Amino acid sequence: MGSVDRLTLVELIESEKAKLSPLALELFEELDAYIYLSPENETSVKPHELALMKRMAEVPGADRRVLKVLRKLRAGLYQSDYSEQRGEPADPHRNQCVIDAAGIKDMEAGIWGEDVQYRTVAQALARLYEGG
């Protein structure tokens, strides 16, 4: 697979959400409802969002690890949707967020080194679909 389509990204997000505890899922969904992209395509963090992120940092480690991956995937979806609305290519945002999320998953699992630098979307997707 050379590119991540929107449906695949949504499926990855839903798969990650299913791993969260009820509290972590509630926090994520609350934060997700407050996400705002400015016209310049920059993320603007509001005080309420910052408070939610601080609460997310206090959830158990397994939830924190999933939340980091999930936030990266969700940000990529927002960015790709925004690009599509402007008539710009959305694939680069989806592809990059999947590659970044796979790297985050490895770092959170304590896996480091050149062997885990994802060079293709297919490698990153394979890592994200793996357990653990």
Q: What is the tens place of the pLDDT at every residue in 66-98?
A: 999 999 999 999 999 999 999 999 999 999 999
Give the number of domains in the chain.
Answer: 1
- Which range of residues forms the domain containing residue 44? 6-129
Mean pLDDT of 17-43: 78
Q: What is the pTM of this model?
A: 0.86
Note whether residue 1 is domain-resident. no
> Residue 87: which residues within 8 A CB-CB, separation 6 or more?
none
For residue 114, what are the contacts with CB-CB under 8 A and spacing of at least 6?
Answer: none
- Residue 59 within a domain: yes
Residue 30 lies in a domain: yes
